[in-house]
Structure 1
Amino acid sequence: MSLSKQDIAYIRQARTILDENFDKHITIPQLARQTGINEAKLKEGFRELFGFSIHTCILQLRLQKAQELLLTTELSVTDITYHIGYSHVTHFTSLFKKETGMTPTEWKKKFGPPEP
């Protein structure tokens, strides 16, 4: 796909919106409207520019934030689930385990600060 400089600017703007709002429910149609690019070009261009889909980007952003919160706060897994934009703990836990090979609790025990 051939992307114009304007398309690239729109797609980068979409990435910024995702970075700042990963914890909210954002649909691709909403993102396309906010940035002024059509959905197909946004989806294809995003993958071309960043090497992964919009959905994968949101998942990665949420998992990074969850890992950070697991390491730096005393928030429960339930609180972290809601904080990063998921509404079901079991869904978040299964995604986390699929991506890291561990549940959030196991991950915190392995990488978090030692308990006093």
Structure 2
Amino acid sequence: MSLSKQDMQYIRQAKTILDENFDKHITIPQLARQAGINEAKLKEGFRELYGNSIHTYIQQLRLEKAKQLLLTTTMPITDITYHIGYSHVTHFTTLFKKEVGVTPTEFRNKGK
């Protein structure tokens, strides 16, 4: 897919929106509307520019924020879960363990 300069600008705008709102539930249609680009072009272009799907990017961003909070705060894991945009602690804990290899508690304890 060849992206015009304008398309790339819209996709970068979409990434900025995600970076600033990672803790909110934003659908791809909403994101496309806010960035001013159609959904198909946004999804394909995002993968082309950043090497990941939008969903994977948000997930990785949230996990990085969670890691920072686990290492730099005493915030309870439940609060971290909600702070980074997940609504179920079990879902977050399962995802964290799958992606990072340890539970959030184990990660926090290793960092000490």
- Which residue of 2 is the match for residue 3 of structure 1? 3
Measured against aligned partners, the alpha-carbon deviations of 1:3-32 in whole angstroms (never above 9, x if no partner) come to: 000000000000000001000000000000
Matched, 1:94 2:94: yes
TM-score, with structure 1 as normaliser: 0.95
Aligned-partner residue type, residue 81 of structure 2: T
- Which residue of 1 is the match for residue 78 of structure 2? 78
- For 1:14 and 1:36, the matched residues in 2 are separated by 9
- For 2:25 and 2:8, the matched residues in 1 are separated by 23
Report SS of the residue matched to 2:2. Answer: coil
* CA apart distance, 1:39: 0.2
TM-score, with structure 2 as normaliser: 0.99
- For 2:39 and 2:45, the matched residues in 1 are separated by 10
Q: Percent identity?
A: 79
* CA apart distance, 1:73: 0.5
Give the count of matched residue pairs: 112
- For 2:19 and 2:35, the matched residues in 1 are separated by 14
> Which 5+ residue runs of structure 2 have no aligned equivalent?
none
- For 1:93 and 1:108, the matched residues in 2 are separated by 13
After the TM superposition, which segments of 4 or more aligned residues of structure 1 sit over 3 Å from their partners? none
* CA apart distance, 1:45: 0.2
